[in-house]
Amino acid sequence: MSPEIASIDFGPPTEVFVDAAVAERFARETGVELEGDRAPLAYPAVWLAEPRLRERIAQICAEADALPVHESQRFAYETALRQGARYRLAVAARREAKPSRLLLDATLSDSAGAVVGRVETVLRLVSRAELPKKGDA
Amino acid sequence: MSAAAALPEVGERLPPLEIGPFDAQALTRYAEVSGDDNPLHLDDALAQSIGFSAPPVHGMKLLAAFERLLASWRGDLFIASLGGTFVQPVLRGEKATLTGRVLRVSPEEGVFVRLYAHGPGRAPAIIADATLRPRPGNEGP
């Protein structure tokens, strides 16, 4: 593996749940009309903000003295997410040096182990030293 | 193939969708439900300190809105993927327009749509894409 790309441990898969009330609020705030028991396709954004993932991302940013800036996001599904359903979320992560990025590849599977979808998140790690300051040209 | 399942033509444009403007309360509500409480989206002083005249709208909030654009256009198709790159921010108080155009169609790969979100700036705020397929038997409404 290139020294400019390093795998990062994000721990074992965790169980996640599509809370129907949260799905409804998420849909309302993103302008999505829900159909039946489907969840909004961007609903996994809620799971990416769960404390264990957030704390790990914050730790990586702190070590890099950087702020995370959301650079890109992708959702891909074999089947639609369902409200009230439980899934397993496995996160594989890697760090790129040039440019400085954290890439999260999450796989969602159902209780039988079948892959339901994948969620790819790219965070650009912007050095605090490079941030413009108020008054800069 | 039934008329309802007919795939669109290459070059077809999706009816544009205007969203926003989003006020501070809308950004707070999105932060609460999504868990993305990055103060950059909520704190005027922080946003101004790094050069924005107002806090930027969460990119994910804008990207998620493409689901409505796609479903309004072809609700009979299953959105198999949606992804995008956040190019430049849409700021609080600004509107955004979502547009799309069919680039490729095949029975095997489905319908590939190029998507854009434009704020007031000339450059797109988000460059995105989606793949739609006929709904499998267990994906009916």
Residue B121 placed within a domain: yes
**Does the interface predicted TM-score (ipTM) exceed 0.85?**
yes
Residue B6 placed within a domain: no
Q: pLDDT band for position B5 (50/70/90)?
A: low
Question: What CATH number is associated with residue B98?
Answer: 3.10.129.10
Which residues partner with A82 through β-bridges? A38
Q: Is the pLDDT of residue A32 over 90?
A: yes
Domain with B73, as residue range(s), is: 11-22+58-135
Q: Is the pLDDT of residue B141 over 50?
A: no
Neighbours of B109 (CB within 10 A): 11
Nearest to B35 among A40, A41, A46 (CB): A46
Question: Residue B44: which residues within 8 A CB-CB, separation 6 or more?
Answer: B54, B55
Q: Which amino acid is at A129?
A: A
Looking at beta carbons, which residues of chain B come within 8 Å of A29? 26, 29-30, 33-34, 61
Distance from CA of A58 to the nearest CA of B (A): 11
Q: pLDDT band for position B50 (50/70/90)?
A: confident
Confidence at residue B91, expressed as pLDDT on a 0 to 100 scale: 98
Ranking A81-90, A95-104, B1-10, B126-135 by mean pLDDT, the lowest is: B1-10
Ranking A11-15, A114-118, B78-82 by mean pLDDT, the lowest is: A11-15
Paired tokens of A9 = 């441990």
Residues in chain B: 141
Confidence at residue A67, expressed as pLDDT on a 0 to 100 scale: 87
- Total structural domains in chain B? 1
Calculate mean pLDDT across residues B59-81: 97
Give the chain B residue whose CA is nearest to the CA of A23.
B33
Which residues partner with A38 through β-bridges? A82
User: Under an 8 A CB cutoff, do B30 and A30 touch?
Assistant: yes
Q: What is the pLDDT of residues B93-117, one digit of tens each?
A: 999 999 999 999 999 999 999 999 9
Q: pLDDT band for position B3 (50/70/90)?
A: very low
Confidence at residue B63, expressed as pLDDT on a 0 to 100 scale: 98
Residue B44 placed within a domain: no
User: Under an 8 A CB cutoff, do B51 and A136 touch?
Assistant: yes
Q: Which of B29, B3, B20 is CA-nearest to residue B120? A: B20
* Domains annotated on chain A, with CATH: 5-128 (3.10.129.10)
Which residues partner with A127 through β-bridges? A66
Q: What is the pLDDT of residues A79-132, one digit of tens each?
A: 999 999 999 999 999 999 989 999 999 999 999 999 999 999 999 999 888 776
Residue B77 placed within a domain: yes
Residue B31 placed within a domain: no
Confidence at residue A132, expressed as pLDDT on a 0 to 100 scale: 65
Nearest to B34 among A31, A46, A74 (CB): A46
Residue B37 placed within a domain: no
Residue B35 is given by DSSP the state -
Exposure of A132 by Cβ count < 10 A (0-12 exposed, 13-18 middle, 19+ buried)?
Answer: exposed
Q: Is the pLDDT of residue B47 over 80?
A: yes
Paired tokens of B27 = 């950004």
Say if CB A81 and CB A39 are below 8 A apart. Answer: yes
Q: How far apart are the first and last CA of chain A?
A: 40
Say whether residue B141 is in contact with chain A using an 8 A CB cutoff: yes
pTM score over 0.80: yes
Say if CB B41 and CB A52 are below 8 A apart. Answer: no
Confidence at residue B99, expressed as pLDDT on a 0 to 100 scale: 98
B89: preceding bond cis by omega (within 30 degrees): no
